[in-house]
Amino acid sequence: MGAITGKALILACSAIGAGLALIAGIGPGVGQGYAAGQGCAAVGRNPGAKGDITSTMLLGQAVAETTGLYGLVIGLILLYANPLIGKL
């Protein structure tokens, strides 16, 4: 068996790091589902406030989605524009 080169080690660790970064998508999915469920329950209790409830829920979901997008960006950077390879 051949020795592991520095570039191969960096690529392998970057792939593992990208996978771990994309796990960050689980949290926003759960949070947005919970927010949508609570929003539906709130509209069921008070149909007159549907507009306010919907706008507040959508704002909260947009803020929650940013963590998933940050994880996706980090994963894509590690896979395709790997800044660590230039450090060899």
Does residue 6 carry a pLDDT above 90?
no
Query: Which residues make Cβ contacts (< 8 Å) with residue 74, sequence separation at least 6?
Result: 17, 18, 21
Q: Which domains does the chain have, with CATH numbers?
A: 26-87 (1.20.20.10)
Query: Mind listing the pLDDT tens digit for each residue in 33-79?
Result: 898 999 999 999 999 999 999 999 999 888 888 888 999 999 999 88
Does residue 1 carry a pLDDT above 70?
no
Please give the model's pTM, rounded to 2 decimal places: 0.74
The pLDDT, as a whole number, for residue 28 is 86
Task: Give the count of beta carbons closer than 10 Å to the beta carbon of residue 73.
Answer: 11
